[in-house]
Structure 1
Amino acid sequence: MKHTARRSFLARVRAALPTLHPAERRLGEFLCDFPGELASYDAQELAQLAQVSKATVSRFVRRLDYSNYEEARRHAREEQQTGSRLFMPSAKSPQAANALGDHLQQGKDNIDQTFSTLTLDDIDAVAHSMLAARKTWIIGFRASRPLADYLRWQLMQVIEHVVSLPGSGETLGEYLARIEPHDCVLLFGLRRRVSHNRPLLDFLRKTQATLIYITDEGAETVKGVHRHFRCHTAAGGPLFNHVSVMALCHLLAMRTIELSDTQGRDRLRQIETANDILDEL
C-alpha cells in the first residue's frame, strides 16, 4: 500500500501543488476549489471544465499516487458519500423548500470543521503577538478585504497601531517597506487568491514579522508562517460561505480585548469618553 493511501483526496492535491507544472497546477487549484467535480465527471469533461488537456488530467492523478483516473474518482466519490458539502458538485443548488435550512446547516458545518482543528492557545498566541507588536498590519484583497477591515475595526478598541491595507489608490509597496521584525501581519488569502499572493508571502517572510495566514480549506500548506488558519468555506451554490472566517475574526478580536489587561481597558475608557463628548452611541 502506498504511503499516501490514508490521506484524503484534497490533502493529496494540496501536498502536490508546489511541485506541479503550470497546467497541472491549474487543474489542482481548480480541484481545491471544487473537488466534487472529479467525482461527478469523466476525465474528458473534467479537462474541459479546468481548461486543460486530457493528458494533463492523466499525469495529474498519477502525481497524486493514483494508478489511474478511475481510482482517483472512486476515492473522491467515497469522500463525497461521507456527507462533506465540499465534495458536492458546484452546479447543484438546494431545492427552494429546503434552501434556508441547507444554508444554515452549511454555515454550522463550516464553523464546526474550522474550529475542530484550532485550540484556544492558537488564538491566544496571535492575540499576544498583536498586543506586543510595534504595529499590526492586516492585508486582504477581493472578498478578503471587507473581512480585513472588519477585524481592524474591532481590534482598534484596544490596539492603537493597526492598519488594513492597501488603501484606495495606494500600492502595497508604500506599506510593505515599513514592516519591521517587531510587527505582526495578518494576511487573508481566501480564494480567489490574487496572482501576487505567493510573492507577497515570500516578501512578508523576509521581514521577519510575526506572520499569520488566514485562508480557505483549499490553500496549500505554507512554510515560514507562525500560524496558518484554514477556514472552511464550502457552499451549495456559486458563492463561498465565509461564516467561519467571520467567526475566527470575532474570536481573535474578543481574545485580544480580554488579554489586553490594564492598557486595553484604559484605551476602551478613553474611547467611551470621546464618544460621550461627541454624543456618539
Structure 2
Amino acid sequence: MKSEFQNHSDDEPFLGRVQRVLPVLSPAERRLAEFLLDFPGELGSYDAQELARLCEVSKATVSRFVRRIGFESYDKAKKAVRDERETGSRLFFAHAEPEANAAALAMDMREDKDNLDWTFSKLSAADLDALSRAVISTRKVWIAGQRISHSFAQYLYWQLTKIVPEVVVFPQGGETLGEHVARIEKGDLVIAIVLRRRMAGTSRLLDAVTEAGGDLALISDESMPRHSSARWHFHCRTHSEGPQFNHAAVLALCHQIVVRATLLSGREGRERLRAVDAVNEKLLQYE
C-alpha cells in the first residue's frame, strides 16, 4: 500500500500521522485510528494481533494502517510510539482495557511510596535546612513556575507568605518573565519549580536569574540534569505508569521547605502567623 507520507518528514509525530489520514480511511481502519488517537500508547504495548483484538479489526487491517501512516512495519511503528512515550507525553500512557485500571488505586499508592522513597533517599538534609534558612533571611523570595509547576509555586507562596514578608509568584496571567526577572536583586532567593514537560527557554530563564544576582534553588523532576548555576537542586521522582505524572514527592518536598522555614523563623515567624490569624478573625474570614 502506498504511504500517505511520502512527502513528509520521518520525524512526523505519530498522532499527526494518524490525524492526517483520517479522511481517507476505510471504516475498519478509521475505527483503529480513533482508538489509537485515544490510546496511542497501546501500539507500543501490544503486538499486531493483540491490537487487532482490542479494536475488533483484522490483523491485516492493522498492517495496512501502519503502512498507510508511513511505517515499513508494525515493529517500526511500535518503536516510534515507544520513543515518543520516552519524551514524557502522557497521552502515550493511557490504557484501554478495564484490567489495566482495575488496580489503579493500589498501583497509584505504590507509585506514591516509591517516588517518595526515591526522592527523600537523595535529599540532603543540610541543603534543605540551608534553603529554609535562606527563605527567612533573604530580602525577597521569588517563586517561578509555569504550567503544572505554577500550582506548586502557588502552594509554596500560600504557605510562606504567612512567615515571610516579601514573597512573589511569577509569572501570573498575562505577565512576561522579564517583568519580574528585571527586578531581582543580588542576594534575592529564587525558587524555580521546573517539572516536565518544561517550557521552551527554561535554561535561559535560569541563566537570567543568576545573571541578575539571585540565589537559585531548583525543584525539578528526575529527568533534568543538574543546572550549573543552581545553588541548590532538588530532584523529585514523578514516575507513573498512568496517563499523568505522579507529583506526590513534589508536594512532600514543598511541605518540608515550609515546615523547616516556619520552625527556623522562630518568634518572629510565630508572631507573623498570629497577626495573620488575628486579622482574618477580625474580618470574619473563617467559619
TM-score w.r.t. length of structure 1: 0.69
AA at the equivalent of 1:150: Y
Match of 2:103, SS state, is helix
Give runs of ≥4 in structure 1 deviating > 6 Å.
Answer: 40-44
> Would the alpha carbon gap of residues 169 and 224 (structure 1) be closer, same or farther in structure 2, given more than 3 Å must change?
same
Deviation per CA, 1:135-156: give whole Å up to 9, x if none: 0000000010111001110001
Question: How many equivalent pairs are there?
Answer: 211
**155, 160, 168: which one aligns with 1:163:** 168
Root-mean-square deviation over aligned CA pairs: 2.7
CA drift of 1:97 comes to 3.0
Counterpart check, 1:107 vs 2:107 = no
Distance 1:199 1:90 in 2: 30
Q: 2:261 corresponds to which residue?
A: 256
Match of 2:102, SS state, is helix
Counterpart check, 1:142 vs 2:144 = no
Match of 2:227, SS state, is coil
TM-score w.r.t. length of structure 2: 0.67
Q: 1:46 corresponds to which residue?
A: 79
Q: 1:201 corresponds to which residue?
A: 206
Q: 1:80 corresponds to which residue?
A: none
Distance 2:148 2:221 in 1: 12
> Would the alpha carbon gap of residues 277 and 190 (structure 1) be closer, same or farther in structure 2, given more than 3 Å must change?
same
| More contact order relative to length (CA 8 Å, sep ≥ 6) | 1
Specify every segment of 5 or more residues in structure 1 that has no aligned partner in the other structure, as ranges: 1-33, 52-88
CA drift of 1:196 comes to 1.2
CA drift of 1:50 comes to 4.2
Q: 1:173 corresponds to which residue?
A: 178
Contact 1:92 1:236 in 2 (8 A): no
**127, 138, 144: which one aligns with 2:132:** 127
CA drift of 1:209 comes to 1.4
CA drift of 1:113 comes to 0.4
**Structure with larger Rg:** 2
**213, 227, 235: which one aligns with 1:222:** 227
What is the percent sequence identity of the aligned residues? Answer: 39
